[in-house]
Amino acid sequence: MRQNKIIAGTMTWGKWGKNLSQTEMSKRIEQWVEIGVNVFDHADIYGDYTTEADFGNALKKSSIKAEELELITKCGIQMTTGRNNKVKHYDYKASYIISSLEQSLKNLQVENIDTFLLHRPSPLMNAEEIAKAIEHLKGQGKIKSFGVSNFLPHQIKLLERYIPVEANQIQFSVDHLDPMYNGVLDDCQLNGREAMSWSPLGAYFKEDGSEKMNKIRETIRELAAVYGVEEEVLVISFILKHPAGVCPVVGTTDFNRLSILKKALSFEWPDEDWFVILESSVGRRVP
């Protein structure tokens, strides 16, 4: 189980963001691995179902071997862009899970996926059928571990009636604290489940002029100046301090920014200041 490891998110590497060329992607894969970031987070849908294949081609052209990487990917979202669906929906039929994973392997040009996630819970998911599909893929050596994303503990419990769930990737950041209070991070600790957080910077660097974000920024800016670190180090360090051992899935495509974020792994600071930041986010003192 990964703990407090920086994971590289690829959602905006391709068509959904920076539109990196093959050469630019290859260079980033090499640079990321060079500084020890070798876990890459994908989903079939990124770039309207195109980014996995772009990454796979870039990996092939790079000096890095697929075995040096750990790959995460997800399945289950049926989009209306990139596919001829009437409405965005979720599909967790066994045949679809299996064909989606096989397509991801083809796109990424690898033999297996380290961690395969169900992207979002569906009201129509049949836990027993999902388990059969996952067991089949595990039996064939096509996936090493199985997890979920955006699931609440009771939804995981339903799946776990039939199959172990090894990871949950959820939204968690200084301005999005739900997983600390809705049982998700407790569930990860109780059951030895890997916790990954997507959008770990939240709206910190986005155009969000709300009173809450301004207060968080003001507090973090002051503390960062006292400690002599970049603000983003504190933003990431805030989630790393949680005892669930959360792995931030960082989305930057910029090597210098990635190097700064990595500093959070070794940054030590007092718990009391963690509560100062917490207070700025929730807008009141702890009871």
Ligand X SMILES: NC(=O)c1ccc[n+]([C@@H]2O[C@H](COP(=O)([O-])OP(=O)(O)OC[C@H]3O[C@@H](n4cnc5c(N)ncnc54)[C@H](OP(=O)(O)O)[C@@H]3O)[C@@H](O)[C@H]2O)c1
Catalytic residues: 46
CB 168 within 8 A of CB 147: yes
Looking at beta carbons only, is 55 or 137 nearer to ligand X?
Answer: 55
Near ligand X by CB under 6 A: residue from 184, 249, 264, 277: 249
Near ligand X by CB under 6 A: residue from 2, 6, 9, 58: 9
Residue 233 binds ligand X (CB under 6 A): no
Place of tokens 């697929």: 66
Near ligand X by CB under 6 A: residue from 26, 38, 104, 149: 149
Evaluated on CA atoms 251, 147, 37, 228, the torsion sign reads positive
Contacts with ligand X, 165-204, as mask; x by CB under 6 A? ----x----------------------------xxxx---
Looking at beta carbons only, is 136 or 227 nearer to ligand X?
Answer: 227
Residue 118 to residue 166: CA distance in whole angstroms: 12
Q: How far is the CB of 232 from ligand X (least distance, A)?
A: 5
Near ligand X by CB under 6 A: residue from 131, 166, 251, 264: 251
Looking at beta carbons only, is 3 or 140 nearer to ligand X?
Answer: 3
Candidates 3-11, 23-31, 90-98, 273-281: pick the segment binding ligand X (CB under 6 A).
3-11
Candidates 140-148, 158-166, 243-251, 274-282: pick the segment binding ligand X (CB under 6 A).
243-251
Q: How far is the CB of 28 from ligand X (least distance, A)?
A: 10
Near ligand X by CB under 6 A: residue from 252, 278, 280, 281: 252
Residue 50 binds ligand X (CB under 6 A): no
Near ligand X by CB under 6 A: residue from 166, 175, 187, 232: 232
Near ligand X by CB under 6 A: residue from 5, 6, 11, 216: 11
Q: Spell out the residues 6+ positions from residue 75 whose beta carbon is closer than 8 angstroms to its own.
A: 43, 44, 96, 97, 100, 101, 104, 116, 117, 118, 119
Candidates 6-14, 104-112, 157-165, 262-270: pick the segment binding ligand X (CB under 6 A).
6-14
Chain contacts with ligand X (rule: CB under 6 A) = 9-12, 41, 149-150, 169, 198-201, 205, 232, 249-254, 257, 261
